[in-house]
Amino acid sequence: MISFHKLMLAFGAGIGSLYAQQAPSQVGPLVSDLYTADPSAHVFNGRIYIYPSHDVEADVQQDDEGGHFQMRDYHVYSMDKIGGKVTDHGIALDVKNVPWAEKQMWAPDVAFKNGTYYLYFPAKDREGVFRIGVATSTSPTGPFIAEPKPIPGSYSIDPAVFIDRDGTSYMYLGGIWGGQLQRWFRGSYDKSLMTDLGKGYENDPALNAKVAKMKGDMLTFDEPLRDVQILDEYGKPLLASDNKRRFFEGAWLHQFNGKYYFSYSTGDTHLLCYAEGTSPYGPFTYKGVIMNPVKGWTTHHSIVEFKGKWYLFYHDSAKSGKTHLRNMKVRELLRDKQGNIETITP
């Protein structure tokens, strides 16, 4: 894995130089004064709002559990057009104002319903267990007021909320290794499952992202979390050993031409992939790669339509050269005539 990773970093650096000459407006960071990652983009009132995590320097050694990702607050950004000025609306929520949380405010998401904006975020509680919290505001820029406790029954990381055309809301979540999804494999938290299920599980179905319908108040689940099943071209579940296609973290769902597109990161192979289905619950059939590896260890994205075009928001560490200090970027997302997403090489 290490040799592959180094190879892709070198490859990505060369490709990045080429694209910098051809299309500099597509590869520059959206924000340069702060390190921002995991951008969740939404269109509210005709304007793009972006909800990223806020990377900071941390005196913590890098490990497979992501201990060096010590984010403590969220900024909100907005722009009225792609390529236009990006406005920083300041801190929307700080970990010190979340009663149940201790640290590591990782990738968030936001949804709008009932005249209220809901900020969903993962953080570690006082026992070091990731939970999903929710905070509310009457403005897309915040400030957001956190609920006193995390969402009951929630765990792991990377919440993403999709509101279907009938108004039903669904939350997707999960991330293995540092995201702790594997620790819930047996139904309760098991700290001994450190990064994956381990030897002997390679030919078993891969760990899945989770999904649950939200209640009307958008503050709690309306049902227990269930698996998001990703199938291969033969209708079989992807296996744990299939690390170029299986789910790792960073779930996102969008709808296009009546179909549901579930996209995600493969983690240690650094790909953004997608699968297609006919229901928000799935199952989803694997279709291909959205984006090849960026410079840096993590890859995390969102997909949004704006003024008739589709865009991919993502991050890389090209500016800092450090895996935990990243910058968010945006590229147009293109499809062929069959609706298949064309692969982007960053």
Cα separations (Å) of 159 from 183, 211, 256, 258, 309?
Answer: 17, 9, 21, 23, 25
Q: What value, to the nearest 5°, has the Cα angle with vertex 313 and ends 309 and 319? A: 135
Please state, in angstroms and rounded to a whole number, the distance separating the CA atoms of residues 256 and 264: 16
Pairing, β 309-316 against β 302-306: antiparallel
- Tokens at residue 304, please? 């949004």
- Collapse the DSSP code of 187 into the 3-class scheme (helix H, G, I; strand E, B; otherwise coil) and give the result: coil
Please state, in angstroms and rounded to a whole number, the distance separating the CA atoms of residues 143 and 74: 10
DSSP string, 316-341: E-TTT-STTS-EEEEEEE-B-TTSPB
Contact 249, 300 (CB under 8 A): yes
- Is 38 labeled as catalytic in the residue annotation? yes
Tell me the backbone φ, ψ of residue 179, rounded to 5 degrees: -80, -10
Q: Which of 196, 242, 249, 268 is catalytic?
A: 249
Q: What value, to the nearest 5°, has the Cα angle with vertex 293 and ends 292 and 296? A: 160
Q: Which of 136, 303, 153 is nearest to 213 (CA)?
A: 153
Residue 269 exposure: Cα atoms within 13 Å on the Cβ side: 16
Please state, in angstroms and rounded to a whole number, the distance separating the CA atoms of residues 222 and 71: 30
Measured in whole angstroms, the distance separating CA 53 from the mean position of its chain's CA atoms is: 10
Q: Which of 317, 339, 333, 340 is nearest to 9 (CA)?
A: 317
- Is 249 labeled as catalytic in the residue annotation? yes
Q: Which residues carry out catalysis?
A: 38, 249
